[in-house]
């Protein structure tokens, strides 16, 4: 199927459907699909296209380079980018009609500079730190920054089109900071409007707030993880509870299947020892591919779950750089080349990225975004039945390079 014995199959129909579901959760707001970090590992360009087809009208990226890549790919939707350091290519961003966030006085100066050099008016979203304690201007410095921004607006250098912020505890909707941040945000919006800003979009909600907190949807919601069908609030509900379908299935072919005797130590440090004569299967994915070493099995306990031939097994022993091992059991029928599913939609009881996150002591975000560049992304579309051609290398190759 490809020259790499594993792949992340990304169903673009799931992304489309997830955006439709998110739009239905936030009927009064526009949807910005956050496609930073290669669309959370799903492939920037195909994922962005599917999100727009699903009804997103904005795309969001952390890095300017990611935003420029969207323009280079021909997308003309609104794009917001928000994380950069002094010396960033803001002239290029403004020239490419990309909305830029401003979170500090130096950033305002550099955006203004970039706009003058680009010879066009920049669209600016002022980022307010309403309590996350990360990026953004603190409320005590907001008025000065807005004053400066509105002076530049009067000169035609830029337009302040947005006020925005981000939650610290969106995944705990009843946490007291959620309400406190929403109040600070409302104050920031009121201040900007009282100073004469004509705001086009006020935005605060990530996936969790989009799904659980309609009071903060404002004009625009910014879901990321939910676009890819993973729950931002696993303690409150899985994807299906919110009308979401995980878009990525990570699968591999068994590279080696062999029988061994009892008492055989397996993989580095022999963290797993076969309890009796059995069959071992080698899965050709390891931590270089983003398989967390923390998902290893330990003495007496299997690691993260995988599905083989309808059976659920767990990682036996250590995850290595390129591979890990499964104990397929005595008399196993599997042969080299048989398919192993690491995670997917969870339908039919299969493991999910959330299961891997639990096994590795992390969150599903990290499982999908850390998938290595060595793993091909193969884009499929379950709404358009695949032909034999689609399954062969051409689609795989296009999928792998089109990210």
Ligand X SMILES: *Cc1c(COP(=O)(O)O)cnc(C)c1O
- Count other Cβ atoms within 10 Å, centred on residue 319: 27
Rounded least distance, CB 61 to ligand X, Å: 9
Whether 218 is a known active-site residue: answer: no
Q: Which of the residues 36, 127, 218, 287 is marked catalytic? A: 36
Q: Which is nearer to ligand X, 230 or 304 (CB)?
A: 230
Integer CA distances (angstroms), 110 to 89, 128, 207, 277, in order: 9, 18, 30, 67
Rounded least distance, CB 240 to ligand X, Å: 18
- Count other Cβ atoms within 10 Å, centred on residue 309: 13
Q: Which of the residues 40, 268, 272, 365 is marked catalytic? A: 268
Rounded least distance, CB 236 to ligand X, Å: 14
The pair of three-digit structure tokens given for residue 263, joined into one six-digit string: 């008492």
Q: Which is nearer to ligand X, 222 or 318 (CB)?
A: 222
Rounded least distance, CB 81 to ligand X, Å: 11
Whether 127 is a known active-site residue: answer: no
CA 48 to chain centre: 12
Q: Which is nearer to ligand X, 224 or 297 (CB)?
A: 224
Residues that bind ligand X (CB under 6 A): 34, 36, 62, 166, 206-207, 222-226, 232
Rounded least distance, CB 242 to ligand X, Å: 12
Annotated catalytic residues are 36, 268
């Amino acid at each position: 199927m490809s020259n790499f014995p594993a792949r992340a199959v990304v169903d673009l129909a799931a992304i489309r459907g997830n955006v439709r579901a998110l739009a239905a959760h936030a009927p009064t707001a526009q949807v910005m699909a956050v496609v930073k970090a290669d669309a959370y590992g799903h492939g920037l360009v195909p994922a962005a296209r599917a999100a727009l087809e699903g009804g997103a009208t904005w795309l969001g990226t952390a890095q300017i380079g990611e935003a420029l890549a969207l323009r280079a790919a021909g997308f003309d939707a609104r794009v917001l980018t928000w994380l950069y350091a002094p010396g960033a290519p803001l002239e290029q961003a403004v020239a490419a009609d990309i909305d830029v966030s401003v979170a500090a006085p130096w950033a305002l100066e550099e955006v203004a500079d970039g706009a003058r050099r680009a010879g066009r008016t920049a669209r600016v979203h002022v980022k307010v730190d309403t309590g996350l304690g990360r990026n953004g201007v603190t409320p005590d410095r907001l008025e000065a920054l807005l004053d400066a921004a509105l002076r530049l607006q009067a000169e035609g250098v830029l337009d302040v089109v947005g006020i925005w912020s981000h939650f610290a505890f969106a995944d705990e909707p009843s946490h007291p900071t959620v309400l406190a941040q929403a109040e600070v945000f409302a104050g920031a919006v009121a201040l900007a409007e009282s100073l004469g800003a004509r705001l086009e979009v006020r935005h605060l909600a990530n996936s969790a707030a989009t799904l659980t907190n309609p009071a903060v949807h404002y004009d625009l919601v910014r879901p990321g993880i939910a676009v890819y069908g993973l729950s931002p609030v696993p303690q409150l509900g899985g994807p299906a509870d919110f009308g979401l379908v995980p878009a990525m299935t990570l699968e591999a072919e068994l590279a080696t299947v062999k029988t061994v005797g009892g008492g055989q130590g397996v993989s580095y440090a022999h963290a797993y020892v076969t309890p009796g004569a059995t069959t071992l299967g080698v899965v050709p994915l390891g931590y270089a591919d983003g398989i967390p070493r923390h998902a290893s099995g330990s003495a007496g306990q299997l690691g993260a779950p995988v599905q083989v031939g309808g059976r659920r097994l767990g990682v036996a022993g250590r995850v290595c750089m390129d591979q890990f091992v499964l104990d397929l059991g005595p008399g196993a029928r599997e042969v080299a080349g048989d398919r192993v599913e690491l995670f997917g939609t969870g339908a039919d009881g299969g493991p999910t990225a959330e299961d891997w996150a639990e096994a590795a002591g992390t969150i599903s975000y990290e499982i999908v975004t850390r998938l290595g560049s060595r793993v091909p992304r193969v884009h499929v579309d379950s709404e358009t039945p695949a032909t034999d051609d689609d399954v062969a290398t051409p689609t795989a190759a296009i999928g792998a390079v089109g990210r």
